Every structure is written in C-alpha cells, then in structure tokens.
Chain A
Amino acid sequence: MKEVIKAVGHVFIKMPQGLLVTLKHLFKKPVTLDYPRKKKPMMPRYRGRHYLERYDDGSERCVCCGLCAAACPADAIYMEPEEGEHGERRAKVYEINLLRCIFCGFCEEACPEEAIFLGQEYEFAADKRNSFLWTKEDMLVPHPRKDNPFKKIIRRVRKVYGVTEQ
C-alpha cells in the first residue's frame, strides 16, 4: 500500500517538478544557434580557412619559399615557384589540400613574408574531393581581417635591407 501511495506521489509531485525544469528552459535564451541561418562569432585566434595576402600595391606577398610546406606536419601544402616578370620569385602553383590540413597554423608561423594566415571561416563542405584542393586563386581573395592584435605582437621587422634611421 505504502508503495502505491509513493508511486502516485511521484506521478503528481516529482513529475511536474521535472517538467518544470523543461518548462523553465522553454523561456530561457537557447544555447544552440540556428545554423546555418545564424553563425557563431569565432574567437580572434581561431584558425579557419587559409588566406594569402597581398602587398598594398597588389603584388603577392608569397615568394614561394617553401617554408610553410616544410613546416606543415600533415604535408598538405604543395607549391611550385616561378620567376615573375621583374625577376621576382613567386608561386606558380600553390595548393593546400584541406582534407589533409589539420589547421595547426604552423604555416602561418613559419611564413617569413607574412603571406599566409588562417582566417575565421570554417565552412568547407563540398560534394567533390577536388574542390578541397584550394589553389592560389582561391586563397588570394580579399579578406575581412582587420588589424589583429595578436599579429602585431609576433610581427617583427623583416625588411630585407635593414631599417633607416629615424
């Protein structure tokens, strides 16, 4: 008998208690996002897709020195250098295989010209394997990055011919 009363008590007391929790959450702000209609803002140091940067005059920063490829632990970067019209060194082919990439950011750290950096975007889904092979043209796009405070810290003076006084 005692058991029966206990069970009935559960139904009428404990259950509404539990449901109350659910009810409470109904009126709370949801933790999930309405992806893909809404997107989560990423942390400043998040490492997403790769960008190749240009100089202010529009020329490519990348000189195809091969250090990013050497630093890459996943062997995701392939490049072929060529001679530009002014005798400069630049990349003829620059490919990153995003399927291999582990977004460790070593390439960014290795780059002596600060040409490559990892942005905030993370949506790479595609229906063909080939489309994961990002070429130079895919990465040499205008990027939304503003002055990143962390960049300034690691930025060193890298002028080839030294600095001028004053």
Chain B
Amino acid sequence: MADDIKDKVKTDVPTVTFTMDGQEVTVAKGTTILEAARSIGIHIPTFCWHPKLKPVGSCRMCYVEIEKWPKLAVSCVTEATDGMIVHTESDKVKRGRRATLEFLLLNHPLDCPTCDQGGECELQNLTFEHGIDDSRFDFQKNRFTSDTDNTVFDDKRIGPEIILNRNRCILCYRCVRANKEAFGEYDLGVYERGNIAEINAAPGQQVNSPFSGNLPEICPVGALTSVDWRYKMRVWLAGKTPSICPYSSSGSNILIYTDDNKNLIRRVTSRCNDDIDDGWLSDITRYGYQIANSEERLQTPLIKKEGKQVEATWDEALEVICNRFKEITEKKGKVCIGGLISPSLDNASLYCSSKLFRTVFNNNNIDFRTDYRMLPNKPDSYFGMLCNRSFRITDIDDSDVIVVLGSDLIREHHNEYLRIRKAVNFNNARVFSLNPYSVKSADVAQAEIVYNIGTDEIILVAIGLAAIEMGLVEQGLAQGFKEKVKLGSLAEATEVCGVSSDDVKLVARALAGDGKVSVIVGELITRSHGREAVASALFNLSRLLGIDKKGQMAVLARYANSRGAEKLGLLPIPTGAQVEMLKAMWGKFPDAEPQTTDAMLALMHKEEISGGLVLGGNPIMLYPDRQFITEGLEKLDFLVACDLFESETTELADVVLPMSSWAEYEGSYVNLEGCNQVACQAIKHIGQSKPAFEIIRLIAEKIGTSLFESDEQMATEIEQLLSCEPDNATPDNFVDVLPLSEEVDPDFPIPLCICDDPHHTGALTQKAPSLTNFTGEAYIEMSPDLAARLEVSEGQPVRVESPVGKIVMPVKVSKHIDNDVVIIPRNFSQIRVTSLLMRKKRVDRVRITKVDE
C-alpha cells in the first residue's frame, strides 16, 4: 500500500522542459539546474553544494549562463523553468568560474605537497582544469596559526580524530551545514566574518560526535583532515575495494583503501548508497576497520597443553578438535555439543555452522543471540513474528509519524538515526521517542516520553487506551483491545508508567491519523525478557490503530548479519518454512530438542553439554550474566573458540583458532531490510588466519563428512534460503498481554541499562585505536541530579554494586538524562560490566556509592 502512494506521488509531479547545452531536458518541477545537469551527465563544478545538504549558493563556482538573464546564474539554487536555454560551458561561464577560482586561491596556501587531500582535492582538480598556473595576488596571504601548539603547518586538532587547517579552508560551510542539518550537532561553527571568517570548534569543546568522521570526507579541500589518514599514503597509490560495514546492521556501503605492499587497510570512506546509508558513515564504520590491522591479532592456532595455550599448526589443531569431539559424542551422544555463533559473520560462515551442527552433530544446539537474556525455548512466539516483519530504511524518509520504542538510536542504529533526522528536516515528520530514560536522539522528537523502566508493554497499552478514550477507534475493536488488557483505564496505565496522559494522547492521535507510520523497536526491548509482552502489546496496538496497514513496524536487527542469521535458520528453532527447505536440501533435519543460548548454558552447568564451539564474538563479555556463562563454559570438557583476538572466551578454550576479519575474504551480509550485499576481499589473510566458513568446513571434513560437494553448492543453498521473504504475519486476533512486574529490592534501587557507547559496538571495537580515542574506558552515565545526590562529579569513581557483583568506575554526568536510570557501556573488557547482571531479572538494579579516596 505504501508503495502505491509513493508511485502516485512520483507520477503526479509536474515537469518542466528546458534546453541545456543543446540537449532537451525534462525534469520534475522544482529541480535545480545543477541537479538536472547531473542527471544527464553534464558536470558542473561545485564546492559548497553537496547532494545531501540544502543548497546555499555561496561558493559561486557552479555558474551557468541562461539566455536573456542579465547575470550568470548560480545553478545550485536556480530552479529550472520551462523554455530556459542554459549554457554550461560558454566563455562567459568559464570566465566566471575562473574568477571564482582565482578568488579562492588568493589565500589558499601552496602546501599541496604536505596536504593529505592532495590527489582527491576538488580545488586542486579544478585549478588544474582551468589552467590557473600563476597568481596575480602579490600580497602576504592570510595565515591562521595554530593557537594550541606551535606546529609549523598551523594544524590544529579540534577533535579526537579531526585536524583543522584554517588556511586551506575555502569557507564552503559544508561541514557546518552537515553538522547542523544531518547530524544535529553544534560542535563546529563559523567565527568572525569576511575574509577572516574561520571554521572552528566551539570554544573549549571537541568535535567528537559519532559522525565526526564525515566532516573530513565532505571537506572539498584539506581544511579538515582525519587523524586516521594523516600522512599515511598518497591516495592514488591506495587500492580501493568496495565492501560492507561489518558493524552496522543496515550494512553501510564502504570503500576500503588498502596499502597492498604492506597488506594493511589505510582508511574507509563512504560508497554512497541512497537506499541504505545516504552517504553518511558513523565513526564506528569509519574507524572500526582498524581491528583488521591490529598487532594483537591471533596469528596461529593455539592448543591448551598442561593449562597453557601454546602455538600449533592447523593440522594439529584440527586433529585435536576432531578427536575430542568424536570422544565426546561417543561418550555422551551428539547432543552434547553446542555452538554460539557471532551474528557479525558472513552468510557462508553462518550457514556452514548451521549445517555442521544440524547434519554432522545432528542437534539443534545453535544460537547467535548471545547477548539476549531468557530466550524462550518455544516456537512461534509473538516476538518471533515481530522479528519476521519487513522493514525498509528508505520508508523512514517519507514516514509522517515515527515512533521509536526502547532504543537510543545513536547507540545502536546510526543510519536510522540520521534517517529520522532527515525525515524531520525534509518531510516534517513527527517523531515520538518512548524510552525509559531521556536519549540524545530525542532532540528532534515532537514528544519524548520517559516511562518507568520495565513498563514497556504498558506504555503501548496506554497509547491504545488513549486512542479509545479519545474516540479515535471503532467500538468493536476497542472492546477487543480492552478485553485483553489487564488495565481498565488510561489513568491507571499512565500511573504505572509514570507519564503524563497528554503526551500519550499526542502519540495516540498521531498513530491513529492517516499518515505513514514507522514503528521501531530497539535493543532495550529485544535484549530484555519483556520482549514477548511488548510484542503482543504492539500487535494489539497495531490491530487497534491499523499500524501494519499504514506503514511498517519492526524490531531492527542489531548486528551486521543478524537478519541473515535469522534467514539462514541459525536459530535453534527455525520457522516452519525454513525447516521444510532445509529438509529438502539436506534430506534430513535433526529432531533433537532445540536449545537457545540460555538453555545451552544451563545444560553446560548440568554437564549435559560438554563440547562447545564459539565462532567469533565474545559471549563472556556480552552475555547478560557473566558468572553464569563463565561457569558454564568452564565446565565444558572441550571448547573451541575462533576469534580475531585473544579474549575472555578464548582464555577458557582448549583450542583457539585464528579467524580472518571481514576484509580478508569475500562474504555476503544481509542487512536489516533483508538486502544481501557483498563485501569484497580487500587484504590478504593476516598470519595463518582463515575465514570462519573455511574453519567450519575443515572441521567437518576432518570429522569425516564434507559439508558441500563444491563451493557452488554452498552458494546455491544459501541463495535458496535467502530468497525466503518475511511473511509479515500478525496474530489473527487481539492477544493476551502478560505484563511482567518485579519486586524492587530496596537495597538496590537504581535501575541499570547496559548499552553500547555511541562510538563502540559489541566487543571488538575496543581494539580500534581511533575509537578508543573518543571513548577509551567504561563509565557510568547518570543524571546531574543523581550525581549531586551521590555527591560525585564528572570523572570521579563510584562503586556500583548489584546482588551478584561489584565494580568501580568513573562517573559521566549527562545533562539530557533526567531520571534515576544509570547507563554503562558494555564495550570495554577492563571493567566487567556484565558481572553486575542477572539473567533472570527483567530490570537490573544496582546500588551506587561514592568511593572515598
């Protein structure tokens, strides 16, 4: 339905026809001459114009001549009108452009040899193109010297990863505009005016937003350069490989620049894909590649001998694995082996692991959701239905109402975060943010609703009740909704959530309207074990207000290939269709009891599972009950861990296998929309590392069964599985909402949320030096009010205690938080955050005390 509306809009747009360089052009009304020129392949040079920003027409480079116009027109802001006759390459135009270039070069230093932008500098290219080889300017150039340190090149570090050289700046204002329009950040600004105007960081501040890496990329000259790329190599010497971001679930399209002599990745830039990343990369995507270059990478297989891990060859390692697995299966049966697979791996690796467990070990002990708590062991849950709904990133752009539930988008889904800003800026979308604590991403929201933690499903019920109370829904539907809800009135529901009913009514009114809707359910819900209740409440709300007919609602997949893992049946309980398909392909499907991560760990405790395979990821660091998983893995007779680095998990392993990073082999990844994208091989394997799928196939071969007859077979099987489209099913009727409430232990009053830091994701990014420059250690984020009550200030250490653990960490005071929820990032292994958590709790609560020094 949504598509129909879109097509209608597209065809109804009036067009204009005009002539450009003798060519007849027909474009939609409102198109600028520049856009029209680009669409037919005529290149008009620009500096200030950027496809993703609103035009300002300040650089005066994009002149065109329009017949009967007295002056040259600036094509980036001039709309094409019927019958215009445009010349883009006339002498007058060339003179105008030449004059602009001359002006720009007046104060531009001639330090191209030392400038990192050299070779990809738009000013350099245009100067060359227009043949300006001498300057008529015979005065001293303006010079801004660095005021922080006395460097010879006037470079100034304005952020952890950004270097500013104001001399080179041509004041196109792209950076400031992108910061403001696209990212909603105000840490970079213009100071002074006229020819001494300068771009600079706000006084006393650093440019350290999670999107700061985009600023050097959009700078047309070398005024903003990144520390990461500084003096590394000349851009024309770098090899370029198209790839996919291995961290973001939307699969940002990236271009990897490699130094082929040294087999290193040098940097990552955007490979603008309008449907997915819109040309902006988060810093995680941009700097996360550094893990592939890390010196700490595992180079050879390790085998535990007499309690110590010693280096070994692949043959030895595989031999040990094969023998021990055989031993265990002979002794205890094949159900005794379990696998925890990282959802950041490519399709082939995920599929091979699934096939290894289901055909060779003949069991269903496999799961990729290692950071969820209390996963149900039964099929067809409402949450599963919600996960299996389609979602399109571009549909956010033209949504009228966007509801974000339980997600701080800037911490988990950077691309979607920017999309929402774009929808607000360009489409006047109304955003509603429903979270247990106030989030940064809510600054564009029309209403931000902060509800009591742990009442996620009740806030959805409250929205439904508000709609009923305002008479926005049919009586019959209202009756059905109310029957399934344990709460009688809106007042009661808002009381439980601790929100004002006016705000809830605002959301209800917006959702009940005719506009296109996007509902995004985030990590705070999916990882908690209230997910089932939320899913059922959301389905009820959707039935009540017709959300699924008006747009999309989805749980966003969290990791690079989470969606792929679901589609390839890596879950312990694949959907019925998947089972049928797998049965047809393999000729068999194990009927063993399916075991989720939790169940597997419980069985490890009971020593019913005694062999384990951990493929990528670092479950010990991420699983929300550190003691439980550590003890479980310790009790295993034999554990194989494959990873890029030594980690908490590999320490426990009997055999450690070095795995290749995503850049070292060609792999495909399915993003959260279900779009399958290929990441090409950029560098050669580091050390003796091997891709995950190859490791699995080698293990299978060693055990005696070859998983595939040929590579083609693997490819076709994967393709077949991926061709399954999400069924978008909804329950047939209103379903029961079973709210989960918990007793609050008065000793541990403060609710705790475990999130990713905006500059980190998962366990790997802490190995990327650029990202640790932004945030290098764990902190506990709290409201200024709570900090005042605890009598602590920014940076002071506090003791955080839960019934099961105790850690000490510094405080970070965040002004935007206004309730007592505290947030700890989980990305740093020095501080064992997950040791505070208890898997059976819906909301973790802690006690915080000041550490006396």
Contact = CB atoms under 8 A, between A and B. Distances in A.
Interface in B167-193: 167
B234 A160 contact: no
Interface string B130-150: 000000011111010000011
Given A65-B118, A87-B152, A87-B153, A158 B110 contact: yes
Interface string B307-342: 000000000000000000000000000000000000
A70 B236 contact: yes
A96 to B, nearest CB: 16
Contacts of B112: 65, 112
Given A66-B237, A162-B140, A87 B155 contact: yes
Report whether over half of chain A's contact residues are helix, strand or loop; otherwise say mixed: loop
Contacts of B114: 63, 65, 88-89
Interface residues of B, number: 27
Given A86-B152, A161-B140, A112 B231 contact: no
B109 A160 contact: yes
Contacts of B118: 65
Contacts of B111: 160
Contacts of A81: 231-233
Q: Indicate the member of A65, A67, A163, A164 with the most B CB atoms within 10 Å.
A: A65
B113 interface: yes
A86 B232 CA distance: 16
A83 interface: yes
A88 B114 CA distance: 8
Contact of B138 (A86, A113, A158, A165): A165
A82 interface: yes
Interface in A50-87: 63-67, 69-70, 80-83, 86-87
A160 B231 contact: no
Contacts of B549: none
Nearest to A83: B231
Given A81-B231, A87-B155, A88-B151, A163 B110 contact: no
Contacts of A80: 233
Contact of B139 (A64, A66, A82, A162): A162
A48 B112 CA distance: 28
Contact of B153 (A64, A82, A88, A113): A88
A83 B113 contact: no
A25 B234 CA distance: 59
Given A87-B149, A87-B151, A87-B155, A164 B140 contact: yes
Contacts of A64: 231
Interface string B102-126: 0000000111111000100000000
B143 to A, nearest CB: 5
B159 to A, nearest CB: 16
A63 B110 CA distance: 13
A131 to B, nearest CB: 22
Nearest to B227: A83
Contacts of A163: 138, 140
A130 to B, nearest CB: 18
A165 B137 CA distance: 11
Nearest to B109: A160
Interface residues of A, number: 25
Interface of B, helix, strand, loop or mixed by DSSP: loop
Given A88-B153, A160-B111, A161-B140, A83 B230 contact: yes
Contact of A162 (B141, B150, B153, B232): B141
B680 to A, nearest CB: 25
Interface in B218-274: 230-234, 236-237
Contacts of A83: 230-231
A163 to B, nearest CB: 7
A159 B138 CA distance: 12
A165 B152 CA distance: 22
Contacts of B237: 66, 69
A115 to B, nearest CB: 9
B621 to A, nearest CB: 34
Nearest to A78: B261
B149 to A, nearest CB: 7
B120 to A, nearest CB: 13
A65 B237 CA distance: 12
Nearest to A91: B231
B329 to A, nearest CB: 52
A116 to B, nearest CB: 12
A96 B153 CA distance: 27
Contacts of A162: 137-141
B113 A161 contact: no
Nearest to B138: A163
Interface string A148-166: 0000000000111111110
Contacts of B137: 162
Contacts of A165: 138-140
Interface string A26-59: 0000000000000000000000000000000000
Nearest to B167: A161
B264 to A, nearest CB: 11
A80 B153 CA distance: 19
Interface in A103-145: 112-113
A148 B9 CA distance: 72
A86 B109 contact: no
Nearest to A112: B113
Given A81-B231, A86-B151, A87-B149, A113 B141 contact: no
Contact of B113 (A69, A82, A113, A164): A113
A161 B232 contact: no
Contacts of A82: 231
A65 B143 CA distance: 22
Contacts of B236: 66, 70
Q: Which of A69, A112, A161 has the most CB of B within 10 A?
A: A161
Most A CB within 10 A of own CB, among B137, B150, B231:
B231
B151 A63 contact: no
A111 to B, nearest CB: 9
B224 to A, nearest CB: 15
A17 B118 CA distance: 72
Contacts of A164: 140
B36 to A, nearest CB: 37
Contacts of A65: 112-114, 118, 234
Nearest to A156: B134
Closest 9 CB pairs of A and B: A65-B113, A87-B151, A66-B234, A162-B141, A81-B231, A89-B114, A161-B141, A160-B109, A112-B113
Interface of A: 63-67, 69-70, 80-83, 86-89, 112-113, 158-165
17 contacts: A63-B113, A65-B112, A65-B114, A65-B118, A65-B234, A70-B234, A81-B233, A86-B150, A86-B151, A87-B151, A87-B152, A87-B153, A88-B114, A88-B152, A88-B153, A160-B111, A162-B138
Given A66-B233, A66-B237, 4 more contacts: A65-B112, A113-B113, A161-B140, A164-B140
